[in-house]
Amino acid sequence: MGVILLLIAFSLLVALTFLGAFFWAVKSGQFDDPQTPAIRMLFEDKPVSTKNKTLTKKMD
Amino acid sequence: MQPEVLIESESCFHCGESTKDVRFTFEDKTFCCEGCQTVYQILHQNDLCTYYSLDRQPGKTIHTGIERKRFEYLKDLDVQHKLIDFKKETTASVSFFIPSIHCTSCVWLLENLHNIDEGILKGTVNFLKRTVTLVFDQSKTDLRSVVELLTTIGYEPDLKLDHLKEKKSGAVDRRLWLKLGVAGFCFGNIMLFSFPEYLKMDQSGSSEMFRYFFGGLNIALALPVLFFSGIDYLKSGWAAVSQKGINLDVPISIGMLALFGRSLFEILSGTGAGYFDSFTGFIFFLLIGKVVQKKTFAQLSFDRDYKSYLPISVIRLKNKDEESIPVNKLEIGDHVLIRNQELVPADAVNMTESIQIDYSFITGESEPVTLSWGEQVFAGGKIIGQTAELIISKKVEHSYLTQLWENESFASKEEKSISSFADRISPFFTYTVIGIALLSLLIWLELSPSRAFNIFTAVLIVACPCALALSTPFTLGSTINILAVNGFYLKNTSVIEKLSAIDTLVFDKTGTITDSNNAEVEFIGESLNRKELEMLSSTFRNSFHPLSQAIHKSLHVNHELKRSYFHEIPGKGVIASFEDDWLYVGSLEFIKEKIPTLEADSISKNTIGSTVHIAFNDEYRGYFRVLQGYRNGLKKLLNNFDQTGKNVHLLSGDNEKEKTTLYQLFPNWDEMRFNQSPIDKLTFVQSFEKSGAKPAMIGDGLNDAGALKASTFGIAVSDNKSSFSPACDAIIDSEALRYLDTFFNFSSSSLKIIKASFVLSLMYNVIGLGFAITGHLSPLVAAILMPLSSVSIMVFTTLSTRIVANKIGLKIWA
């Protein structure tokens, strides 16, 4: 039965990790603005960096 | 590579919005706004254009029509210090409100500014608030360049005088989320650890160890809930008791302490498993209620004063040179230049031959005033037409406009709050609970003294007004949401009770019940032929006077004629010529001046509304009569108020010209006052307070600011949510004004729903008391009863507000 103690301790640890993640999310401002991130995810991260080069080459 | 995107010509190439009304074209592509078009152009310039194509158009310059002088004031260190949020070495962060943010591309571009100006390190947009926070490197760029860049790409920041106030630290409501998170976490885990107890699995006695282990864990998990999540209730309850008052937090605190103390005692003494699951669940649900109640509208501002209206800078003339300086550095005697559509920042004296000023927002006068040389100009007036040169005669903070804010109504920072229904019944509730608890204690001391203490605490636990405390926030939370969907934005949930108590309505006229887009224009005189109409249309189109704009709109002529001559004399009229035809439009006096032979007596002067007379080639042809348009549905709204027995008053800063029309519109005005100054309006509304009435002021301009503040409930009418509206309790979309009576009814209904849910939650308390007094309140019963009552109250209030709203004809979904 002693293993239950270990399991419970472990489950609590996992739960605490999630609580920690929630704290991090709140503190980093993820709950401040619920609207903009939904728009932001539609953007490409690096719009043209590679294509830019080919273009300048073409121009030369 | 050619653009593969094929978009209908009716929609913006950039963001897809309809381009029916406005159309900007650039290389065979249409755009909905200048912003979108500029973005497109810049994307081409900077090779950021993954949306459309990779075509490069070298040589295309972005629109650079801004005057270099305008943002000079941003070089002022004092201004910089106040605008910049924080600074670390050379890195600075600044936030701007940009009204033109409206689509996805706006966000994208503003967050990619670093590709255009390498001094900008990072841009973060808040779409709801329409703000952008920019971090920039001061060694590479400066505040002025940043603002100029934003302006160039069509996103001019909205900089107003109030931005020069000292910054308050951004109090974000993150703590509430954290408290809720902790309570939820502990609630869930304690439920899990209490499970063996629910099922009585521990009765074999095989492991006493487990009981202590789970008990210890539960205590450890309950501690943060008491001292972190629930501490606000204890503090507020204690504050109320120490001031010899009782609010709803008092019985909540008693319940919390009874739950926690009893559970702690049971576990430590080994007599039971405690009620920690109920305790944490209770706090968790209460906090959810708090989150719902905290709902605010981030995009709206309810506490603005004249400082959010006046501009931040002004062009000053110094030794014939123009320079822009911050408005708060203006000195008496400074010469300033104010252009068309700009605001006068401080009281001043006119130094131009003749200027036109629109005071509608400041005084409520609907027509512009013409001032000649040497006359006094008041702060807040908007210059129309020609540029004006003024000499400042008073400092900004001593202007006529700002006097209003010196009134005592603005002095008290405390909100005049009507104590809420929940707080009013709290004393009764608390005394009853304590009475029942003591009574059962006495009775059980007689019957079986060993159980008396247990029964006493059980009563306190079960009487805890959790469901009661939830009914108000959930009902009001969904009420405020439904009202917002219908275009009525409340400042917070606590004003709903004030709204339902209103018995008197005071309307402002100009801008509130009148609608400039709805003016009634009628031509009286000989009929005009097509060419004459075209000439008139082209003339009125180019005149700045609001009457001209209204007439132009009513003519519905699309064809533009080429003018060969055009001269507007402010306050009088316009002379225009089209090839060989000469045209005079303007006041009767003006026409008489131009055509001395005209027999003026033949023209009736006894007309209602404003008139604009016209003459072609020295021949008088008649006049346009412009009647102020009233908002659609106004008549019905006023009648509805009248029928429900509310008093309806009108206050106007304008003259009595429209009096007859107003009585035709609605004959039962209780009182109508004209030529009211902002202070008159304020004292009028205050007089109601003394007689015990509950007035609601409905206004729009700064001239109503005092009355809005002094009234029980101030409603600001706004055509555009992001435009300026004075301090108030609620902002109403001008389109939604006609449903105002329905909103009033709905707010009363929602108070009834609160009362109904109080009854429902009291029933739970009575059932619980039955268990408690008879000594049957096991942790399992408590753990079932508590969430059941809370959840059923949440469901009941949310559903019933929506059903009621639907019944009285409000939209319930966006």
Are B524 and B597 members of one domain? yes
Beta strands in B298-419 (DSSP E): 313-318, 321-326, 335-338, 348-350, 354-358, 369-372, 376-377, 382-384, 388-392
Are B154 and B105 members of one domain? yes
In a domain, B398, yes or no: yes
Q: In chain A, how long is the greatest CA-to-CA distance?
A: 77
Q: Would you say B479 and B673 are in contact if contact means Cβ atoms under 8 Å apart?
A: no
Are B369 and B433 members of one domain? no
Per-residue model confidence (pLDDT) at position A47: 47
Q: B55-59, B188-192, B784-788: lowest mean pLDDT where?
A: B55-59
Question: Between B50, B108, B174, which is nearest A27 by CB?
Answer: B174
Of B120, B145, B147, nearest to B134 by C-alpha is B120
User: Is A22 in Cβ contact with B127 (below 8 Å)?
Assistant: no
Could you count the other beta carbons within 10 Å of the beta carbon of residue B45? 17
Are B609 and B695 members of one domain? no
Per-residue model confidence (pLDDT) at position B296: 67
Confidence label for B612 from pLDDT (cuts 50, 70 and 90): confident
Residues in chain B closer than 8 A to A50 (CB atoms):
none
Per-residue model confidence (pLDDT) at position B12: 65
Query: Residue B1: pLDDT above 70?
Result: no
- Using the Cβ of A23 and the Cβ atoms of chain B, whether some distance falls under 8 Å is answered with yes
Return mean pLDDT, chain B: 80
Are B645 and B700 members of one domain? yes
Q: Which of B44, B101, B104 to mutate to test the interface with A (most CBs of A within 10 A)?
A: B104
Residue spans per domain, chain A: 2-59
Could you count the other beta carbons within 10 Å of the beta carbon of residue B394? 17
Give me the percent of chain B exceeding a pLDDT of 90: 11
| Interface of chain B toward chain A, CB-CB under 8 angstroms | 47-50, 54, 56, 104, 107-108, 111-112, 115, 125-129, 172, 174, 177-178, 181-182, 185, 188-189, 193, 207, 210, 213, 217
User: Is B49 in Cβ contact with A48 (below 8 Å)?
Assistant: yes
Q: Give the gap in angstroms from C-alpha B289 to the nearest C-alpha of chain A.
A: 17
Are B642 and B542 members of one domain? no
Residues in chain B closer than 8 A to A6 (CB atoms):
none
Beta bridge partners of B529: none
Mean pLDDT on B341-346: 83
B48-102 pLDDT tens trace: 554 343 223 222 233 334 455 677 778 777 788 878 888 888 888 888 888 777 7
In a domain, B591, yes or no: yes
In a domain, B167, yes or no: no
Are B429 and B330 members of one domain? no
Per-residue model confidence (pLDDT) at position B201: 60
Are B393 and B266 members of one domain? no
Higher-pLDDT residue of B415 and B464 is: B464
User: Is A4 in Cβ contact with B174 (below 8 Å)?
Assistant: no
State the CATH number of the domain containing residue B109.
3.30.70.100
Residues in chain A closer than 8 A to B104 (CB atoms):
39, 42
Confidence label for B801 from pLDDT (cuts 50, 70 and 90): very high
User: Is B128 in Cβ contact with A27 (below 8 Å)?
Assistant: no
Are B575 and B613 members of one domain? yes
Report the side by side order of strands in the sheet with B335-338: B321-326, B313-318, B335-338, B388-392, B348-350, B376-377
Residues in chain B closer than 8 A to A29 (CB atoms):
172, 174
Confidence label for A57 from pLDDT (cuts 50, 70 and 90): very low
Confidence label for B164 from pLDDT (cuts 50, 70 and 90): low
Of B248, B188, B234, nearest to B761 by C-alpha is B248
Domain count, chain B: 6
Q: Letter for the amino acid at B329?
A: K
Residues in chain B closer than 8 A to A40 (CB atoms):
107, 111
User: Is B127 in Cβ contact with A35 (below 8 Å)?
Assistant: yes
Per-residue model confidence (pLDDT) at position A52: 41
User: From the DSSP assignment, how many helices (H) and strands (E) are in chain A?
Assistant: 3, 0
How many residues are present in chain B?
814
SS3 label, residue B308: helix
**Which of B113, B131, B159 is a domain's end point?**
B159
Q: B293-307, B408-422, B444-458: lowest mean pLDDT where?
A: B408-422
Q: What is the ipTM of this complex?
A: 0.79
In a domain, B148, yes or no: yes
Per-residue model confidence (pLDDT) at position B45: 66
Query: Cα–chain-centroid distance for residue B734?
Result: 13
B646-703 pLDDT tens trace: 889 998 887 787 788 888 888 888 888 888 888 888 888 888 878 888 899 998 877 8
In a domain, B810, yes or no: no
Per-residue model confidence (pLDDT) at position B100: 77
Q: B107-111, B165-169, B222-226, B278-282: lowest mean pLDDT where?
A: B165-169
Q: Rounded to the nearest 10 degrees, what angle do helices B740-773 and B779-807 cross at?
A: 160
Nearest CA in chain A to B57: A59
Give me the domain span that covers residue B509.
Answer: 478-514+631-747
- Using the Cβ of A55 and the Cβ atoms of chain B, whether some distance falls under 8 Å is answered with yes
A5-39 pLDDT tens trace: 888 889 999 999 999 999 999 988 888 777 788 88
Q: What Cα–Cα distance (Å) separates residue B433 from each residue in B238, B436, B608, B787?
A: 18, 5, 68, 20
B713-740 pLDDT tens trace: 899 888 776 667 788 888 898 888 889 9
Are B596 and B685 members of one domain? no
Per-residue model confidence (pLDDT) at position B285: 92
Q: Could you give the residue ranges of the DSSP H alpha helices within B464-618? A: 466-485, 495-500, 530-541, 546-555, 588-594
Per-residue model confidence (pLDDT) at position B23: 58
Could you count the other beta carbons within 10 Å of the beta carbon of residue B718? 20
**Which of B747, B773, B797 is a domain's end point?**
B747
Residues with Cβ within 8 Å of B520's Cβ and at least 6 positions away in sequence, in order, are B609, B626, B627, B628, B629
Give me the percent of chain B exceeding a pLDDT of 70: 85
Q: Find which of B408-412, B559-563, B620-624, B793-797 is predicted with most confidence, using mean pLDDT.
A: B793-797
**Which of B578, B604, B627 is a domain's end point?**
B627
State the CATH number of the domain containing residue B505.
3.40.50.1000
B454-483 pLDDT tens trace: 888 888 888 888 888 888 888 988 998 899
Are B47 and B135 members of one domain? no
CA atoms within 13 A on the CB side of B371: 28
Are B566 and B595 members of one domain? yes
